[in-house]
Structure 1
């Protein structure tokens, strides 16, 4: 088993510049389409076992996500898919940007689906609470309904709101650049 080796953004940038490493982005396609590091291979964690990585033998493999949490939590699973040493970008894309390193951003792409879910759920809970306090207590049931949906999503991995938002017109045009 490969030990977890974290590399700083500067170390990763140097290895990418020297062409001695390949960067594997395990974020979801909607996250990658909106913002990514140039040259990163996309292999979403949700479909990682079935993904074709197409890695060049002899190059270091560096896994990355947005904050480093996903790659850290799933490192054993990720490292098992490659022969040789595996590394992670410490702090993920957030640390890369904080270090002032370049990213490709496509603001025409929709916000990441999870952010849309968080905004919609938070907005519905807030509206339910305000209407319950100002109009009629029955509106608090809206907040309770959304809260129950979030609980079910966390417990089962199925998020009805995410499924609904995914088919909205603004999300159908997602494409990686």
Structure 2
């Protein structure tokens, strides 16, 4: 088995020679922006090789390269040879290589959760220092929710955000 990490420039040269490029991020991240002509197979679905078109050269990527490195055992178990894009789509864009963007798609849920929790914590702190110390409970509640999400793997805020109006387009595509 041979899993080789390659640069964005090398990946682009292989792409021009008809290599298959696979985005392992969530469908939502893929819809927002992906490498032009890449297909999307989320990492959790990658064990099913039957969804992959035939190709001698398969290049996998994520946002910054961390998910591909973290899941290298899946690539080793599933493929005899594969390439990992070092630095992910971030490195690809740094090299000014082509991507397909759809800014009408919402940012991914993880980032929405980070923005929302950060804002709620800041609001709780500001109101707690300026109006009443009772507002510190907002920050305490959000912090407790984050700890629970980290331990249990269940994030209630993410579930709520998935039902937000700006995410309904994504939900209808996925289902």
Structure 1 outlier segments of 4+, above 6 Å: none
Q: 3-state SS of the aligned residue for 1:153?
A: helix
The counterpart of 2:162, out of the listed 147, 162, 166, is 166
Going from structure 1 to structure 2, the CA distance change for 1:140 and 1:3 (only over 3 Å counts) comes to farther
2:49–2:78 contact (8 Å) kept in structure 1? no
1:45 — aligned with what? 43
1:43–1:51 contact (8 Å) kept in structure 2? no
TM score, norm. by length of structure 2: 0.92
Aligned equivalents of 1:172 and 1:36: distance in 2?
Answer: 20
1:15 — aligned with what? 14
Query: 1:8-87 residue pairs with structure 2 within 5 A?
Result: 8-19=7-18, 21-49=19-47, 52-57=50-55, 59-82=56-79, 84-87=80-83
**2:127 is aligned with 1:128:** no
How many residues end up aligned between the 2 structures?
172
The counterpart of 2:113, out of the listed 109, 112, 117, is 117
Aligned equivalents of 1:163 and 1:50: distance in 2?
Answer: 27
Aligned equivalents of 1:128 and 1:67: distance in 2?
Answer: 32
More helix by percentage: 2
Aligned equivalents of 1:52 and 1:133: distance in 2?
Answer: 57
Q: 3-state SS of the aligned residue for 2:58?
A: strand
Q: 3-state SS of the aligned residue for 1:158?
A: coil
1:151 — aligned with what? 147
Aligned equivalents of 1:71 and 1:148: distance in 2?
Answer: 30
Aligned equivalents of 2:50 and 2:44: distance in 1?
Answer: 13
CA RMSD, 1 decimal: 1.6
Aligned equivalents of 2:23 and 2:151: distance in 1?
Answer: 26
